[in-house]
């Protein structure tokens, strides 16, 4: 029952969900991730809270690994690449700016609420985007459009499993079939999450290499 | 002072007493003499015997000699805000007699900003404050100056502070004040406790001369009346509200007498208030609600209402617990177990605030098993033994908070401060390595410097007097603001204000509850039905609603277990009940009313004798439950439960959920688990061999440490309470304590705060020593193992308990498989 990836069909497109918290659209060869929150550690440090920044390095490394594995044409980040405009150190900035050339791939960022005011080179900042029968945004759009799937981030969805004697929670992909919205799990390690509606269809990320439809 | 001046001082105090038609009691005389002799110590007398004047008169007569118009000379620390106003009145009465110009001020969470500023500029001669506010005062830039005249500190109700981290906070503040003025005299007042010497040490420090202990043999007589069920079949076995029996209570309560009804939780007080108002519509205007989460104006209305007699009954929590003088209170009701004797006696004491008076308390059990407790308490009171209250040791979270406070205010020198802190009783075992870690944590963020490039909380600054020395300060103004905002969070969770849309503030709720509400939801709070309008900037806006809802907020409070002393007596009580053949003639009133339940227990299973250990197995459709009645107080029972779960899981990989109460514990496993294994493994389960390792195992396979860490992260300033004035940016500073835990565990193995969480689990939950003793006791017992068709009366409360812990050594995959079985159904 555990898989190394799960599949969702939308129209004539074939979407693959990875336990590495990324979504791949085969038709357009676009790879989607969201909510990385780079610089979060340093933002906390500036405010007198000792949270390590080791996770930035880890998050960037994980991006590189996925890109190498999936070989997309384009990497699209659905918002909140950074945690705050106040906490982008020079070294972080240059690492992010080099990302596109290191991976030899175009990178686009749908600007999320945390990205406001952030400026980096070699990444295209856009408001939202249509591609084939998809709409990419950071927060879900107010109105759903027929036959269009709105893929977004922002919510950090998690699934909570419990019975009378045990409980566990996992990051998940969540599909709202009524509104045609697919929420991606937060990519960053230093992010928490929120429970999502019961009616949503969910794919739980059990570990780095296991995903499970629930 | 010389002997002669001491004598004149005492004569003068006596004169004040005589003029008020009081007679000084021997312990009061002793206290005055000891104070004037320059001694420090503890006054240990029951509530309502006049200990305030015992502690106060010495300092007052000294104050007369040296007082200037402005300047703080005497500090009065009380555990509760509610006490301050009454305290001020009684201090004033005495102060005016000595010197009409003496000024008395109050400083706590309810004091206005304007008033606080004024107090710093022109300090009152006597200041009444709480441990949290004192800690805040130390973080003031002017603190050295403010306390330079201070010669005396009185700590009120010290036994209430001692049992928690607030006691640590208080100790640390005292250590700094002692360092600031070497000749400071410190006295504490305490109820009767078993370890009074230790209580005294904690107040005056480890190195000082032994504390003077002043006690009296005044014995207050206490009469406990239990509300017994009229109809045995309606008596609830489980639950914690006790509402089902309200009619029995109403029959014995007098509507015209002033009455305090104490509940254990704020949620319970809201429910009882709602129930009483509903049942007694004619009393509507005369019943009020009082708990710590209500707005201070709301509380004041109630306090005043009781004083002028308009309000007759108050449903309250411990917010009204201590010496606040509502004169006269005629009836005291305790709803649910008071958990320890000291608290019950304290509350009973409110019914006669006069030396020598007899105090009465009506006990309203919330479940039948509590009647055992009250029966046990009665027997203990008769025997005259008292309980111990232990201070938590080496709480690094409180220490870190204290150090940052100092760095925000007067600054500190590492070498000097270390010595001061090691003078505190609960930090006497602090070693250099841990101290260095604390400083490093505050200065650099942690061991791995590269990981914290932007971090600086405390910074060095060369000392003005000595160029070779340096002091630590917090320089960033926003850090200072944030820190000050976080002090006072020793006990509480994150709070949201509740306000009417038009502006009146009602009180506060835990964020956890508020976050689950949607616009339009109705809930009951502050004695009103309210409708959620919107939530903005950490404020929940509401309007009145005529609709009804059963939704009532819960506040996470400290869990309590009955004391050791009480659990021992509890076992005796149950032993008495094993002989049921005599129609209960030999049983007292409480036990007698339990007869139907005891008979049922005997029919379904057994009642254990003192030399027996009762174990029951009960199967439901998809779960198997094991109930073990260790009768050892909630935390010890829980400890043994974790130990057994860990040992059983070693034999066969499994997931258990664990519940404990004061009677015993239950382990729950899936339906195919065969608990009969404990028959063969009994000696393995109770042996003391490998205890340490097995407990360690239990900690690792459960979430215990993570849960402990939550509170630690808050106190040490990792997780911030929301600052209402700065909502936008602070929302970007939110991260859950469990994420912190994971990050620390991953990148910094030796993190002291994680170690503390671990230590706290061992200290309070899986306490090695007490478990060892308990296992020793169990090994002498004969096991009775019953499989029951229905849950027995003893087992029922454990079965319905909702808060559960999980221990598992199965793989995540296996656990998910079991979890989704139900999910998909």
- Per-residue pLDDT averaged across B440-453, rounded? 82
Strand, helix or coil for residue A129: strand
| DSSP string covering B377-397 | HHHHHHHT-----------HH
The whole-angstrom distance between A41's CA and the closest CA on chain B is 8
A30-34, B557-561, B723-727, range with the lowest pLDDT: B723-727
The whole-angstrom distance between A153's CA and the closest CA on chain B is 17
Distance CA B347, CA B724 (A): 36
Tell the burial category of B773 from Cβ atoms under 10 Å away from its Cβ (0-12, 13-18, 19+): middle
Question: In the predicted model, is pLDDT for residue B630 greater than 90?
Answer: yes
Distance CA B718, CA A50 (A): 7
Residue of B nearest to A53 (CA): B451
- Residue B105 backbone dihedrals phi, psi, to 5 degrees: -125, 160
Using a CB–CB cutoff of 8 Å, tell me whether B739 touches chain A.
yes
Using a CB–CB cutoff of 8 Å, tell me whether B310 touches chain A.
no
CB contact under 8 A, A53 and B451: yes
Task: Residue A166: list chain B partners with CB under 8 A.
Answer: 655, 657, 806, 808, 815, 818-819
B105 in a domain, yes or no? yes
B760 in a domain, yes or no? yes
Tell the burial category of A20 from Cβ atoms under 10 Å away from its Cβ (0-12, 13-18, 19+): buried
For B310, half-sphere exposure in the C-beta direction (CA atoms, 13 angstrom radius) is: 8
Both tokens assigned to A170: 């996992």
Task: Residue B703: list chain A partners with CB under 8 A.
Answer: none
User: Which residues of A lie closer than 8 Å to B, measured between beta carbons?
Assistant: 1-2, 40-55, 83-84, 87, 89, 114, 161-168, 190-192, 204, 206-207, 210, 212, 214
B70-74, B184-188, B284-288, B363-367, range with the lowest pLDDT: B363-367
| Percentages (nearest 5) of helix, strand, coil residues in chain B | 45, 15, 35
The whole-angstrom distance between B116's CA and the closest CA on chain A is 26
| C-alpha angle B72-B74-B76 in degrees, rounded to nearest 5 | 120
Higher-scoring residue by pLDDT: B218, B528: B528
Do B434 and B285 lie in one domain? The reply is no
Residue B723 is predicted with a pLDDT of 46
Task: Residue A168: list chain B partners with CB under 8 A.
Answer: 812, 815-816, 819
Residue B219 is predicted with a pLDDT of 66
CB contact under 8 A, B451 and A54: yes
- Per-residue pLDDT averaged across B261-281, rounded? 85
Mutate which: B673, B820, B821, vs A, most A CBs within 10 A:
B820
B404 in a domain, yes or no? yes
Tell the burial category of B49 from Cβ atoms under 10 Å away from its Cβ (0-12, 13-18, 19+): buried
Which 607-626 residues of chain B touch chain A by CB within 8 A?
622-623
Per-residue pLDDT band for B103 (boundaries 50, 70, 90) equals very high
Do B302 and B169 lie in one domain? The reply is no
Using a CB–CB cutoff of 8 Å, tell me whether B644 touches chain A.
no
Question: In the predicted model, is pLDDT for residue A103 greater than 70?
Answer: yes
Using a CB–CB cutoff of 8 Å, tell me whether B813 touches chain A.
yes
Do B160 and B240 lie in one domain? The reply is no
- For the sheet with B331-335, list strands across it: B222-226, B359-364, B331-335, B259-262, B313-316, B287-290
Place of tokens 């304590």: B737
Place of tokens 């505190």: B424
Residue B240 is predicted with a pLDDT of 54
Residue B586 is predicted with a pLDDT of 64
Task: Identify whether the C-beta of residue B523 lies closer than 8 Å to the C-beta of residue B553.
Answer: yes
For B782, half-sphere exposure in the C-beta direction (CA atoms, 13 angstrom radius) is: 7
Task: Residue B735: list chain A partners with CB under 8 A.
Answer: 40, 44, 51, 190, 192
Distance CA B243, CA B596 (A): 20
Is residue A8 within a helix (H) or strand (E), and if so which, with residue range? strand A6-10
Do B355 and B441 lie in one domain? The reply is no
Residue of B nearest to A39 (CA): B454
How remote is the C-alpha of B49 from its chain's centroid?
24
Using a CB–CB cutoff of 8 Å, tell me whether B736 touches chain A.
yes
| Mean model confidence pLDDT for chain A | 91
Residue B438, CA distances (Å) to B398, B418, B430, B442, B458 in order: 11, 11, 11, 6, 11
The closest alpha carbon to B94, from B179, B17, B180, B150, belongs to: B17
B434 in a domain, yes or no? yes
Do B195 and B234 lie in one domain? The reply is no
- Per-residue pLDDT averaged across B657-669, rounded? 89
B110 in a domain, yes or no? yes
Task: Identify whether the C-beta of residue A52 lies closer than 8 Å to the C-beta of residue A43.
Answer: no
Question: In the predicted model, is pLDDT for residue B199 greater than 80?
Answer: yes
The residue segments making up the domain with residue B475 are: 396-486
pLDDT tens digits, residue range B780-797?
A: 999 999 999 888 888 888
Task: Residue B798: list chain A partners with CB under 8 A.
Answer: none
B554 in a domain, yes or no? no
pLDDT tens digits, residue range B354-400?
A: 555 677 889 988 877 788 888 888 888 877 777 788 888 889 989 99
Distance CA B292, CA B304 (A): 16
Please provide the CATH number assigned to the domain covering A6-213: 3.60.21
B574 in a domain, yes or no? no
Residue of A nearest to B808 (CA): A166
CB contact under 8 A, A212 and B453: no
Radius of gyration in angstroms for the set of CA atoms belonging to chain B, rounded to a whole number:
28
Question: In the predicted model, is pLDDT for residue A71 greater than 90?
Answer: yes
Which of A43, A50, A87 has the CB atom closest to B452's CB atom? A50
The top-scoring range by mean pLDDT among A35-49, B402-416, B554-568, B642-656 is B402-416
Residue B357 is predicted with a pLDDT of 64
Residue B134 is predicted with a pLDDT of 94
Residue of A nearest to B800 (CA): A164
pLDDT tens digits, residue range A119-170?
A: 899 999 999 899 889 999 999 998 888 889 999 999 999 998 887 777 888 9
B103-117, B183-197, B336-350, B678-692, range with the lowest pLDDT: B336-350
Task: Residue B445: list chain A partners with CB under 8 A.
Answer: 45, 50, 52
Do B732 and B750 lie in one domain? The reply is yes
- Per-residue pLDDT averaged across A185-209, rounded? 90
Do B271 and B200 lie in one domain? The reply is no
Residue of A nearest to B713 (CA): A49
Q: How do the domains of chain A map onto residue ranges? A: 6-213
Per-residue pLDDT band for A174 (boundaries 50, 70, 90) equals very high
Using a CB–CB cutoff of 8 Å, tell me whether B586 touches chain A.
no
Task: Residue A164: list chain B partners with CB under 8 A.
Answer: 622-623, 657, 668
Strand, helix or coil for residue B11: helix
Which of A43, A47, A161 has the CB atom closest to B823's CB atom? A161
Residue of B nearest to A163 (CA): B819
Strand, helix or coil for residue B442: helix
Task: Identify whether the C-beta of residue B398 lies closer than 8 Å to the C-beta of residue B165.
Answer: yes
The closest alpha carbon to B202, from B229, B255, B162, belongs to: B162
Question: In the predicted model, is pLDDT for residue B614 greater than 70?
Answer: yes
Per-residue pLDDT band for B58 (boundaries 50, 70, 90) equals very high
CB contact under 8 A, A50 and B657: no
Both tokens assigned to B56: 């106060």
What CATH number has the domain bearing residue B135?
3.40.50.300
Residue B97 is predicted with a pLDDT of 86
Residue B356 is predicted with a pLDDT of 56
Do B527 and B468 lie in one domain? The reply is no
Question: In the predicted model, is pLDDT for residue B577 greater than 50?
Answer: yes
- Residue B782 backbone dihedrals phi, psi, to 5 degrees: -95, 130
Distance CA B638, CA B230 (A): 34
| C-alpha angle B728-B734-B737 in degrees, rounded to nearest 5 | 165
Do B453 and B510 lie in one domain? The reply is no
Residue B473 is predicted with a pLDDT of 94
Question: In the predicted model, is pLDDT for residue B520 greater than 50?
Answer: yes
- Residue B81 backbone dihedrals phi, psi, to 5 degrees: -60, -40
The whole-angstrom distance between B478's CA and the closest CA on chain A is 8
Q: Number of structural domains, chain B?
A: 5
Do B655 and B638 lie in one domain? The reply is yes
Residue B241 is predicted with a pLDDT of 59
CB contact under 8 A, A49 and B733: yes
Do B230 and B351 lie in one domain? The reply is yes
B96 in a domain, yes or no? yes
Task: Residue B808: list chain A partners with CB under 8 A.
Answer: 166
Complex confidence, ipTM: 0.79
Longest dimension (CA), chain B: 87
Residue B218 is predicted with a pLDDT of 67
Using a CB–CB cutoff of 8 Å, tell me whether B815 touches chain A.
yes
Task: Residue A161: list chain B partners with CB under 8 A.
Answer: 816, 819-820, 823
Task: Residue A210: list chain B partners with CB under 8 A.
Answer: 813
B242-246, B434-438, B625-629, range with the lowest pLDDT: B242-246
CB contact under 8 A, A168 and B816: yes
- Per-residue pLDDT averaged across B596-608, rounded? 87
Residue B728 is predicted with a pLDDT of 40
The whole-angstrom distance between A84's CA and the closest CA on chain B is 8
pLDDT tens digits, residue range B11-45?
A: 989 998 998 888 999 999 999 999 999 999 999 98
CB contact under 8 A, A165 and B747: no
Mutate which: A50, A203, A212, vs B, most B CBs within 10 A:
A50
Residue B320 is predicted with a pLDDT of 63
| Mean model confidence pLDDT for chain B | 83
């Amino acid at each position: 029952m555990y898989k190394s990836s799960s599949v969702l069909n939308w129209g004539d497109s074939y979407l693959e969900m990875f336990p590495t918290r990324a979504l791949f659209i085969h038709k357009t060869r676009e790879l989607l991730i969201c909510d990385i929150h780079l610089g979060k550690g340093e933002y906390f440090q500036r405010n007198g809270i000792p949270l390590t920044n080791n996770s930035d390095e880890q998050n960037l490394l994980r991006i590189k690994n996925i890109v190498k594995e999936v070989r997309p044409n384009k990497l699209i980040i659905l918002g909140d690449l950074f945690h705050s405009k106040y906490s982008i150190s020079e070294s972080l900035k240059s690492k992010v700016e080099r990302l596109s050339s290191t991976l030899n791939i175009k990178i686009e960022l749908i600007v999320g609420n945390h990205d406001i005011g952030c400026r980096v080179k070699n990444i295209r900042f856009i408001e939202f985007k249509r591609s084939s029968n998809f709409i990419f945004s950071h927060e879900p759009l107010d109105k759903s459009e027929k036959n269009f799937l709105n893929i977004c981030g922002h919510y950090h969805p998690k699934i909570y499993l419990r019975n009378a004697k045990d409980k566990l929670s996992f990051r998940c992909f969540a599909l709202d079939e009524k509104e045609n919205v697919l929420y991606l799990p937060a990519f960053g390690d230093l992010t928490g999450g929120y429970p999502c509606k019961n009616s949503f269809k969910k794919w739980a990320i059990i570990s780095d290499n296991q995903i499970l439809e629930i | 002072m010389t002997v002669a001046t001491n004598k004149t001082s005492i004569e003068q105090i006596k004169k004040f007493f005589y003029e008020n038609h009081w007679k000084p009691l021997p312990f009061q005389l002793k206290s005055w003499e000891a104070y004037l002799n320059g001694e420090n110590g503890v006054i240990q007398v029951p509530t309502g015997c006049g200990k305030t004047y015992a502690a106060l008169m010495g300092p007052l007569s000294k104050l007369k000699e040296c007082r200037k118009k402005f300047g703080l000379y005497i500090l009065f620390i009380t555990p509760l805000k509610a006490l301050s106003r009454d305290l001020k009145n009684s201090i004033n009465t005495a102060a005016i007699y000595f010197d009409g110009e003496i000024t008395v001020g109050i400083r706590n969470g309810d004091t206005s900003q304007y008033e606080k500023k004024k107090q710093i500029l022109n300090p009152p001669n006597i200041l009444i404050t709480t441990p949290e506010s004192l800690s805040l005062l130390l973080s003031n830039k002017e603190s050295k100056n403010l306390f330079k005249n201070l010669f005396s500190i009185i700590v009120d109700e010290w036994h209430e502070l001692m049992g928690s981290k607030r006691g640590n906070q208080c100790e640390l503040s005292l250590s700094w004040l002692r360092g600031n003025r070497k000749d400071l005299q410190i006295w504490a007042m305490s109820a009767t406790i078993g370890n009074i010497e230790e209580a005294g040490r904690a107040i005056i420090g480890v190195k000082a001369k032994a504390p003077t202990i002043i006690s009296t043999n005044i014995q207050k007589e206490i009469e406990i009346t239990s509300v017994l069920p009229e109809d045995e079949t309606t008596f609830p076995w489980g639950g914690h509200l006790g509402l089902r029996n309200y009619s029995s209570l109403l029959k014995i309560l007098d509507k015209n007498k002033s009455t305090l009804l104490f509940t254990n939780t704020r949620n319970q007080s809201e429910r009882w208030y709602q129930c009483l108002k509903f049942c007694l519509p004619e009393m509507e205007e005369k019943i009020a609600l009082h708990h710590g989460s209500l707005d201070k104006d709301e509380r004041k209305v109630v306090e005043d209402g009781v004083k002028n007699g308009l309000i007759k009954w108050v449903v309250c929590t411990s917010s009204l617990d201590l010496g606040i003088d509502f004169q006269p209170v005629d009836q005291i009701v305790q709803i649910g177990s008071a958990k320890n004797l000291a608290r019950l006696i304290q509350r009973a004491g409110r019914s006669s605030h006069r030396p020598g008076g007899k105090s009465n308390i009506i006990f309203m059990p919330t479940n039948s098993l509590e009647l055992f407790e009250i029966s046990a308490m009665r027997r203990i009171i008769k025997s005259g033994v008292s309980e111990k209250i232990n201070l938590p040791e080496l709480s690094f979270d409180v220490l870190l908070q204290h150090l940052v406070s100092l760095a925000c205010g007067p600054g500190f020198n590492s070498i000097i401060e270390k010595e001061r802190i090691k003078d505190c009783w609960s930090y006497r075992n602090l070693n250099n390595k841990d101290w260095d870690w604390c400083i490093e944590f505050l200065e650099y963020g942690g061991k791995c410097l590269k990981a914290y490039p932007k971090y600086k909380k405390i910074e060095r600054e060369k000392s003005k007097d000595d160029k070779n020395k340096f002091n630590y300060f917090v320089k960033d103004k926003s850090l200072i603001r944030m820190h000050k905002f976080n002090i006072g969070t020793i006990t509480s969770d994150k709070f949201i204000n509740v306000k009417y849309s038009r502006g009146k503030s009602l009180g506060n709720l835990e964020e956890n509850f508020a976050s689950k509400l949607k616009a339009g939801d109705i809930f009951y709070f502050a004695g009103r039905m309210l409708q959620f309008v919107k939530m903005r900037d950490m404020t929940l806006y509401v309007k009145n609603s005529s609709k009804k809802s059963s939704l009532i907020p819960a506040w996470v409070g400290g869990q309590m277990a009955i004391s050791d002393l009480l659990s021992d007596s509890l076992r005796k009580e149950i032993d008495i009940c094993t002989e049921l053949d005599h129609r209960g003639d030999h049983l007292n009133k409480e036990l007698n009313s339990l007869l139907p339940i005891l008979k049922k227990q005997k029919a379904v299973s057994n009642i254990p004798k003192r030399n027996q250990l009762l174990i029951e197995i009960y199967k439901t459709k998809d779960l198997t439950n094991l109930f073990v009645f260790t009768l050892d107080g909630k935390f010890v029972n829980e400890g043994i439960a974790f130990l057994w779960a860990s040992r059983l899981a070693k034999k066969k990989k499994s997931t258990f959920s664990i519940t404990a109460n004061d009677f015993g514990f239950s382990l729950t496993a899936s339906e195919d688990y065969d608990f009969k294994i404990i028959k063969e493994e009994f000696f393995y389960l109770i042996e003391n061999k490998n205890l340490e390792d097995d407990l360690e195992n239990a900690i690792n396979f459960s979430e215990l440490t993570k849960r402990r860490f939550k509170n630690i992260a808050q106190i040490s300033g990792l997780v911030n309470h929301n600052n209402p004035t700065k909502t936008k940016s602070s929302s970007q500073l939110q991260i859950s304590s469990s994420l912190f835990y994971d990050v620390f565990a991953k990148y910094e193995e030796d993190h002291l705060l994680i170690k503390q969480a671990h230590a706290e689990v061992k200290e309070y939950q899986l306490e090695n020593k007490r478990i060892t003793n308990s296992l020793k006791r169990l090994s002498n017992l004969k096991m009775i193992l019953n499989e029951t068709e229905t849950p027995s009366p003893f087992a029922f409360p454990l079965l319905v308990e909702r808060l559960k812990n999980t221990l598992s050594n199965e793989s995540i995959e296996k656990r998910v498989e079991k979890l989704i079985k139900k999910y998909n159904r």
